[in-house]
Amino acid sequence: MTTENNFSGQGFSSLDEEFNTSSNPADPSVQAEFLKLKTFGRIKSAPNVTFKKWVILNKKNVLSHSKAKELGITCQTRKGLALFLPTIAIINEDIEQNGWDYYEYQPAVSKITEEFCKENNVPFPLIVDGEEKTHIVRDGNNRFETDWVLFPCGVIEGDEYDLKRFGTIANVPDNKTKKNDCSDEDVMSIIQEGFEVGKVEKTEQGVWDELFNNYREVRKKDRKIFVAEILEKSGKKVSVEPFDIPKAEAHLKDHFGVEMGQDGDVTRECVGFGRSADEYRTFFRLITNATKFPKVIQYVYAFQQHGKGVSPQPDEENIKDKRKRASNSLDDFMHEFILPAADAWRSGNFGAIIFRHCLLYTSPSPRDGLLSRMPSSA
């Protein structure tokens, strides 16, 4: 970071002190930093939440997550640790050395209204430790807990659920922001609350859409399983329970006493069906084993895959057809590909397949006799 578009450490300290001793918020130094905030600042977006304006607030007038928790006010969905001291230390050092970073997503606050206080059974205006709290942190609590008294941020509006959801969405994993990512439990909690207030449809498609639209990086590799976990916690079963290999193995062991692996001349394994590439790798392995070890019986416990690369997704209407297809898939593969290829190979009617290798370097190599270099005098 350069000091051109950020507070220098010394400049931020000077402004911080001046801001707290001056009664004039229009001080030129404050206005200069406010201009940077307006020019470079950006804020996360979330459904039904409106950005209103940029402000540089004094922290004494802002309610943090920690203080809100002491008052019994729920303003976030973090189910575990809410303050992350190592992250706060890193941000503190960064501000001291480089000043406030206006290029990152900025913290967000919302106004503390009379209605908000009434909903949370606290008096209005809200006085804490002798200071009136006019705003509450919705995102950026780690930056709020740094040593600095000034708090550049954006003011947002929305109903209470949407503001809580904003905080969760703002902490979806990314590689750009100094923050602590939301957990699976955080996302599950805010979606459960969405069921209660009618903001999230309590169906497989409703939860899938909510995850895809707002929490795309959370459990994206097993999103269908996550959908089932969220609905199950609310007392609703999915139409077709999704499995992966560990879950399928645990299910067979817990409910049927069947364990995977080799037992004498018998092997057992769980295999997912639904993605062609995965199926072809499975067939190659099964055929190879059957050829090398003809006396070994291979038991395949099949489950239907869900998620990316599977079309259509398993449901109550197609599950029987999908299971039937899986049961016949190895025979179909043998008759459609392996046996015709073997017959063609033996009869000499197997078409030629010739491999060539491409050069991977971009300039002539002394090891390549087919290429010559320009003479040094050219």
Higher pLDDT, 28 or 136: 136
Q: What is the pLDDT of residue 192?
A: 95
Confidence check: pLDDT of 117 > 80: yes
- Do 188 and 78 form a contact (C-beta atoms < 8 A)? no
DSSP state at residue 42:
B
Confidence check: pLDDT of 114 > 80: yes
DSSP state at residue 376:
T
pLDDT tier for residue 178 given thresholds of 50, 70 and 90: low
Confidence check: pLDDT of 377 > 50: no
201-249 pLDDT, tens digit per residue, is 999 889 999 999 999 989 988 888 899 999 999 998 887 888 889 999 9
Q: What is the pLDDT of residue 155?
A: 96
State the Cα–Cα distance between residues 162 and 271, nearest whole angstrom. 41
Mean pLDDT, residues 193-197 taken together: 96
Q: What is the pLDDT of residue 358?
A: 79
247-298 pLDDT, tens digit per residue, is 999 999 999 999 999 999 999 999 999 999 999 999 999 999 999 999 999 9
For the chain, the distance separating the N- and C-terminal CA atoms, rounded to the nearest angstrom, is 45
Q: What is the sign, positive or negative, of the torsion defined by CA atoms of 126, 53, 69, 151? A: negative
Lowest mean pLDDT among 39-53, 57-71, 107-121, 165-179: 165-179
213-226 pLDDT, tens digit per residue, is 999 989 988 888 89
**Average pLDDT of the residues of the chain:** 85
The tokens for 360 are: 């991977």
pLDDT tier for residue 3 given thresholds of 50, 70 and 90: very low
DSSP state at residue 105:
B
pTM greater than 0.85:
no
pLDDT tier for residue 316 given thresholds of 50, 70 and 90: confident
